[in-house]
Amino acid sequence: MKPLFLLVLFGLALSGCGESYSWNQKLTVVVETPAGTKSASSVTTARLKNKSGRFVPPEAGGASFSLKGEAVVLEVRPGKYLFALLKDLPRAYVLFYPDQKSGLAGARALENAPVGQAIELPADKYPMMVTFTDITDAASVREVRPNNLEEFFGSGVKLKSLALTITDEALTTDKVEGVVEWAGSPPERPVLPYLEPHDFSLAARLRISDFNRR
């Protein structure tokens, strides 16, 4: 009986440990321009995993979140691109299920949510948005204020909406890399690879992982 007892005890200790939920989500950006409405989207894969357990040290436990995919890139005007980054993108289970007591409960509900379920992001939940004044020069990256796209894209250009949709569509790849080749570099690398000492510019602070996570 002793081995069986130990097996049951071990199973109870590990209950919840390794609990994992994943889903595909599509972020869609819609912009109004003098030439009409323009939109673009990207599909990312999100995962929330519980690492807690009786035999897991407290400092190593908790829930671990990961996101795979790429930013949204929208050509607002010829040669002028708006990027909605992965940086600061809110977690979908918080948006869809804000009343859940834990992220795991929200992620569990989200994994089983119907395809097509969507929510429009409130302005205070927008991810960081950037553009490049010269798309061939990483150092020219500039942060875009969502309420003032005209600063970089000209008169009559306004952000209409950002929406997150639960989807069964495949992960999108190579859209960002098709515009800026350096997006295929290692994710921890800065956007600006050759930094001057004490460079605190946006290009130095941003990472490839803000644009692309493989």
pLDDT digits (tens, 9 = 90+) for 107-164: 999 999 999 999 999 999 999 999 999 999 999 999 999 999 999 999 999 999 999 9
Which pLDDT does position 196 carry in this prediction? 67
Task: Give a yes or no: residue 150 inside a domain.
Answer: yes
Which pLDDT does position 104 carry in this prediction? 92
Task: Give a yes or no: residue 139 inside a domain.
Answer: yes
Task: Give a yes or no: residue 213 inside a domain.
Answer: no
Q: Which residues contact 193 (CB under 8 A, 6 or more apart)?
A: 138, 182, 185
Amino acid at 45: T
pTM metric for this prediction: 0.86
Total number of domains constituting the chain:
1
Q: Give the domain range for residue 118.
A: 17-172
162 membership: H or E segment, kind and range:
strand 158-167
Task: Give a yes or no: residue 31 inside a domain.
Answer: yes
* Burial profile 67-83: b = 16 or more Cβ within 10 angstroms, e = fewer: ebbbbbbbebeeebbbb
74 membership: H or E segment, kind and range:
strand 72-77
CA distances from 96 to 30, 165, 211 (A): 20, 10, 24
Which pLDDT does position 199 carry in this prediction? 78
Task: Give a yes or no: residue 198 inside a domain.
Answer: no
Task: Give a yes or no: residue 11 inside a domain.
Answer: no
Low-confidence ranges of the chain (pLDDT < 50): 1-2, 4-16, 55-60
Task: Give a yes or no: residue 10 inside a domain.
Answer: no
Task: Give a yes or no: residue 80 inside a domain.
Answer: yes
